[in-house]
Amino acid sequence: MARRRPGSPPPLPTGDEKTARVRAMFDTIAPRYDLINRMMTFGLDQAWRRGTVAALALPEGARVLDLACGTGDLSRLALRRGYRVIGADLSAGMLGANGAATPLVEADGSRLPFVDGAFDGLVCGYALRNFTDLAATLAESARVLRAGGRLGVLEVDTPTGRLWRAGYDVWFTKAVPALGGALSDKEAYRYLPQSVAYLPPAPVLRTMLRAAGFSAVGIRPLAGGLSQLVVATRAGTP
């Protein structure tokens, strides 16, 4: 068995260990999650979230699931567009800090407690890498969407340009853990940059979405690749 080199990060958890760690981590950081998010992105995440909700392009009154809803940022934006929103999250701590005036459900993304075709749209912000079984979660997302329903996912990305990548390496992998450690939980904000390793490359994610039951999959980098917006349509005839 290979030994971990001194000073290197521990291996990322998988399976039930990952689920338990993610739940406990978000329970811990919930009280200051929004504050640190704004500082991490210099407030850019708000515009990206608005773009994610706008990408649904659904009529007023549409039923929308905010998966991994956290403190409710996407839910509040969806409500402003006249959508009927339900939030679901694995973390009870996050649900307790949720400030959106929506029904809330504690649930694992791979086992959603909703009937087939219950929603017209689904949004998810910065959570793909935190799902223990991403393929099952994408399949569940497709199941609870009606045919022709819309998916909008906001997630981190890794810049490819030299200047963007240099800034990313300094800020996200060094400054953010220090900032999070000072204002919230050191171990959680050390883990979050490492968790990018869970994300599949764009071509693989596109293939996974199609296998789950989505079509017209689009993946667009934001701000030079600091984040990415994923949009797709539930396959089938409405």
Range of the domain at 24: 15-34+42-158+196-234
What whole-number distance in Å separates Cα of residue 68 and Cα of residue 59?
Answer: 23
Q: What CATH number is given to the structural domain containing 137?
A: 3.40.50.150
Mean per-residue pLDDT, 125-147: 97
Q: What is the pLDDT of residue 40?
A: 73
> Which alpha helices (DSSP H) does 42-161 contain, by range?
44-54, 73-80, 92-97, 134-144
Q: What is the pLDDT of residue 2?
A: 37
Residue 30 lies in a domain: yes
Number of domains in the chain: 1
With contact defined as beta carbons under 8 Å apart, do 36 and 73 qualify?
A: no
Q: What is the pLDDT of residue 164?
A: 66
What whole-number distance in Å separates Cα of residue 164 and Cα of residue 52?
Answer: 22
Residue 137 lies in a domain: yes
Using the structure block, give the residue that is written with the tokens 């906001």.
154
Q: Is the sign of the CA dihedral 212, 213, 216, 222 positive or negative?
A: negative
Compare 175 and 225 and report the one with higher pLDDT: 225
Compare 159 and 144 and report the one with higher pLDDT: 144
What whole-number distance in Å separates Cα of residue 127 and Cα of residue 7?
Answer: 27
